[in-house]
Amino acid sequence: MAGFLSGLEKLGLGNIEGESLFEDPAAQKKVEKKKEAPQKRLQLVNEEDYLYDKKIKCPVCDMVFEAKTVRTGKVKIKNVDIDLRPDYDELDQNKYDVIACTCCGYAALGRYFPNINKYQIEDVKMKICMNYRHEPNRDNIYSYAYAKRLYQLALANAVVKKAKNSEKAYICLKTAWVIRGETQRLDPNDPKYESMKAENDSQEKELLTNAFNGFVLAKQSEAFPIAGMDSSTLDYLLAALAVETEQKEVAQKMIGDILASRSANARIKDRARLLKAALEDGNNNKE
């Protein structure tokens, strides 16, 4: 596993970098049996006013720690990208979706954080906690660099605890969303803007590809809802990810299946029609 997880040695977890990201359910059975970034830089004003420190008990080490959390109802969605990424006016809420224990290094997306069994806890203790070096946040908000480090840690934990493919795919998807948010906020007047944007775009596409592959595997082996999505929503997301990762034939087939489906609701079909129009126009924008 390379790419986004390179650099984990800074947290003492360089041994995780060589692990495989997804498990093929077929292989397991045998064993058992884009949007272009806008040129206008977005500004965050008083981001810390929308945050508070929430006390959380770690299910791995039982220590209580604090994690920055967005105040409920304080931020409003101004737009939803084609891959269902919510874009907010006040701050990038996606930066704060990973919970990471500052004591032992266990980390996961908020929806998965409490859900860890005793066997997974043992794996995390052996491969994460024993080697983890805490890197404290020294600001009142999360920088994009710090947020991406938390997502790295969450993905490393997911690999170690052999999380479902859907959980790992969802981490990859949301990490891509964070990188997209960072790209939107780059300063076009910065001499390094073009190189930073190119690097972010490349990393985002890699993560979106991983998300696509992981959700395809999840659909083959997991019961719905998958990452909180019903079958029609996941099919739409896969079609959108196929568009973003330039898998045109796959996208066309999936969009056609959604539009012909009797179970897909009107909202999903409307989104699929917009996706089809964007694909036909050769416009892979994420909005």
pLDDT in tens, 175-230: 999 999 999 999 999 999 999 999 999 999 999 999 999 999 999 999 999 999 99
Count up the domains in the chain and report the number. Answer: 1
Nearest to residue 162, comparing CAs of 121, 131, 104, 200? 121
Cα–Cα distance for residue pair 285/264, rounded to 1 Å: 23
Tell whether the model's pLDDT for residue 19 goes beyond 90: no
**Inter-CA distances, 261 with 215, 247, 257, Å:** 20, 21, 6
- pLDDT value of residue 5: 65
Is residue 94's pLDDT more than 70? Answer: yes
Cα–Cα distance for residue pair 46/35, rounded to 1 Å: 27
* DSSP-H helix ranges across the chain: 25-32, 118-124, 144-160, 165-184, 193-221, 231-244, 248-260, 266-280
Angle of CA points 285, 177, 254, to nearest 5°: 55
Q: In a 10 Å sphere around its CB, with 0-12 CB exposed, 13-18 middle and 19+ buried, how is residue 29 labelled?
A: exposed
**Can you give the pTM of this predicted structure?**
0.85
- Bridge partners (DSSP) listed for residue 77: 88
Q: Label residue 127 by pLDDT band (50, 70, 90).
A: very high
- The residue length of the chain stands at 287
Residue 139's Cβ-count burial label (10 Å; 0-12, 13-18, 19+) is exposed
pLDDT band of residue 286 (cuts 50, 70, 90) is: low
51 three-class SS:
strand
Mean pLDDT along residues 25-49:
59
Is the residue at 103 inside a domain? yes
Please state, rounded to an integer, the average pLDDT across all residues of the chain.
90
- Counting Cα atoms < 13 Å in the Cβ hemisphere of 53 gives 7
Which pLDDT band holds residue 27 (cuts at 50, 70, 90)?
low
Angle between helices 231-244 and 193-221 in degrees, nearest 10 = 140
Q: How far is residue 56's CA from residue 283's CA, in Å, rounded to a whole number?
A: 43
| Confidence bin at 74 (pLDDT 50/70/90) | confident
**CA distances (Å), 18 to each of 1, 2, 71, 175, in order?**
5, 7, 37, 19
Residue 34 has a pLDDT of 46
- Measuring CA to CA, how many Å separate 250 from each of 91, 151, 244? 34, 28, 11
Other Cβ atoms within 10 Å of 108 Cβ, number: 26
| pLDDT-derived band at 2, boundaries 50, 70, 90 | low
Residue 213 lies in a domain: no
Is residue 37 over pLDDT 50?
no
Q: What pLDDT is recorded for position 28? A: 60
Q: pLDDT by residue (tens digit) across 145-158? A: 999 999 999 999 99
Domain-located, residue 200? no
Over pLDDT 70: what percentage of the chain?
A: 85
> Which phi and psi angles does 157 have, rounded to 5°?
-65, -40
Of 65-69, 89-93, 101-105, 260-264, the one with minimum mean pLDDT is 89-93
CA distance 223 to 232: 13
Is the pLDDT confidence value at 35 over 70? no
Domain span including residue 122: 3-166
pLDDT at residue 9 is higher than 90: no
- What pLDDT, on a 0 to 100 scale, did the predictor assign at position 89? 84
What is residue 122's predicted lDDT score, i.e. its pLDDT? 98
Residue 151 in domain: yes
- Looking at residue 238, its amino acid is L
Residue 239 lies in a domain: no
